[in-house]
Amino acid sequence: MLGNRGMTYEEATEYLFDSVPMFQNVGGAAYKEGLHNTKVLDAHFGHPHQYYKTIHVGGTNGKGSCSHTLAAILQAAGYKTGLYTSPHLTDFRERIRVDGQMIPKKEVVSFVENERAFFEPLHPSFFELTTALAFKYFAEAKVDVAVIEVGMGGRLDCTNIIRPDLSVITNISLDHTQFLGHTLEAIAREKAGIIKAGTPVVVGETTEETRNVFLHKAMEMSASISFADEMHEVCSSRLENGARIYKTSHWDELKGELGGLCQEKNTATILAAVAELQKNGYDIRAEHVRKGFEHVCELTGLRGRWQQTGTAPLVICDTGHNTGGIAYIAKQLRCLNARQVHVIIGMVNDKDIRGVLQLLPKNAIYYFTKANVKRALDEHDLQELAREEGLEGTAWENVACAWKAARQNSKTEDAIFIGGSTFVVADFLTLLEQKEA
């Protein structure tokens, strides 16, 4: 019992994590198909998303980087910008930001305290509640525009009640197949569900199976569609002092703070989206684009995208967690100028684990571990699957133990990579924060 003292922030977030199903912890049990609860919550709060402009970003990989970079560009252009993304790494409030600043703790507390009597009978999911909180907070903060990242899928995702100025679909690869379908075409149909009537849509990457799905849906909705991978805006890129330098067709040379190889595709998508926003009347100029790309982490708080956290040995973490994302990471690991690469890896049990392991370099030293979530695959099971794919290493019960072992085994000219799951990266960054405190 809390008595009359009210909730603390820690109690409010614990209530959210424990009282409603949270996908990152329990997986499928937290997935609620349909928009009924979302619409009830939205009506209760007075349809807050109707009070500001929105940009909707979906897709399998890259939607977090694209969402943050678009938000950074809009902030640089002087728009008061909301940003809603998921999951968080170390603090729930990372999901909901205005001009890069996390939602205040008191707003989270008051939402739970004041509204729980209404929402408890609905038995909403964690994501349904979080989305309602985000949309309500953005209206109260009087944002000009909010960049809204799809949670999963698109058609039935609870963010899909918005009527955006622009829809963005980054790409399609096999992920969450138990909910979205087992083929690229089936997943594309779910992702295409965010395409709205008369609303332009930008698609980042397509395949033979997915392009026609998007074309058909856009025609059905009378929505103009552009394919970033057919526009050839990004000519090439190179890594320079941790930043990615892009040679482009219309923006000259751009410096991107995010150094991952996958950002080349993301940048093409972002620039195509900016062009559509300019057509829609957004006052975005070249200097805003440059500032957004160069300072995206500072402007929006983005972390975990080929993020360098140490030198001698080089330490990098990345949240890529499916075959589409790991393909870029594996290629970049092979290009590292290091004597030996050490890989700390853990995965959740509903991914294409063998598909990911088959992509990873065989000459690295592996530290198999698990994140502190219920969906985490046992480290010994992962070790055995990896051994069958020609990857050798040791098993560690948690990220802290794996990190300690990798540090002890590494020389200054080596590199340590931490990834395989968003939650492994979250545990790692939490560990660093605790040591800094």
The distance between the two most distant Cα atoms of the chain, rounded to a whole number of Å, is 63
With b meaning 16 or more CB within 10 Å and e meaning fewer, what string describes 237-271? beeeeebbebebeebeebebbbbbbbbbbbbbbbb
CA dist 287 and 307 (Å) reads 25
Per-residue model confidence (pLDDT) at position 178: 55
For the segment 265-304, what is each residue's pLDDT rounded down to a tens digit? Answer: 999 999 999 999 999 999 999 999 999 999 999 999 999 9
* Position with higher pLDDT, 437 vs 42: 42
Which CATH architecture group holds 9-300? Answer: 3-Layer(aba) Sandwich (3.40)
For the segment 315-357, what is each residue's pLDDT rounded down to a tens digit? Answer: 999 999 889 899 999 999 999 999 999 999 999 988 789 999 9
pLDDT band at 50 (very low <50, low <70, confident <90, very high): very high
Percent over 70 (pLDDT), the chain: 94
* H or E segment and range at residue 310: strand 307-310
pTM assigned to the model: 0.93
Mean pLDDT of the chain: 93
Q: Is the per-residue pLDDT at 434 higher than 80?
A: yes
pLDDT band at 34 (very low <50, low <70, confident <90, very high): confident
Task: For the chain, give every domain's residue range.
Answer: 9-300, 307-436
Per-residue model confidence (pLDDT) at position 368: 98
Q: Is the per-residue pLDDT at 142 higher than 60?
A: yes
What's the average model confidence in pLDDT over 134-152? 97
pLDDT band at 208 (very low <50, low <70, confident <90, very high): confident
Residue 396 CA: distances (Å) to CA of 13, 367, 381: 29, 7, 11
Q: Are 349 and 376 in contact (CB under 8 A)?
A: yes
pLDDT band at 141 (very low <50, low <70, confident <90, very high): very high
Q: Is the per-residue pLDDT at 19 higher than 80?
A: no
For the segment 54-99, what is each residue's pLDDT rounded down to a tens digit? Answer: 999 999 899 999 999 999 999 999 999 999 999 999 999 999 999 9
CATH of 307-436, one of 3.90.190.20, 3.40.1010.10, 2.60.40.10, 3.90.550.10: 3.90.190.20
Q: Are 81 and 52 in contact (CB under 8 A)?
A: no
Q: DSSP string covering 77-101, please? A: TT--EEEE-S--SS-GGGGEEETTE
Short-list 214, 243, 209, CA closest to 228: 214
pLDDT band at 1 (very low <50, low <70, confident <90, very high): very low
Can you tell me which residue has the tokens 């482009």? 248
Q: Are 314 and 410 in contact (CB under 8 A)?
A: no
pLDDT band at 28 (very low <50, low <70, confident <90, very high): very low
Can you tell me which residue has the tokens 């004041």? 114
pLDDT band at 29 (very low <50, low <70, confident <90, very high): very low
Per-residue model confidence (pLDDT) at position 30: 41
Q: Is the per-residue pLDDT at 2 higher than 60?
A: no
CA dist 271 and 290 (Å) reads 11
CA dist 330 and 405 (Å) reads 22
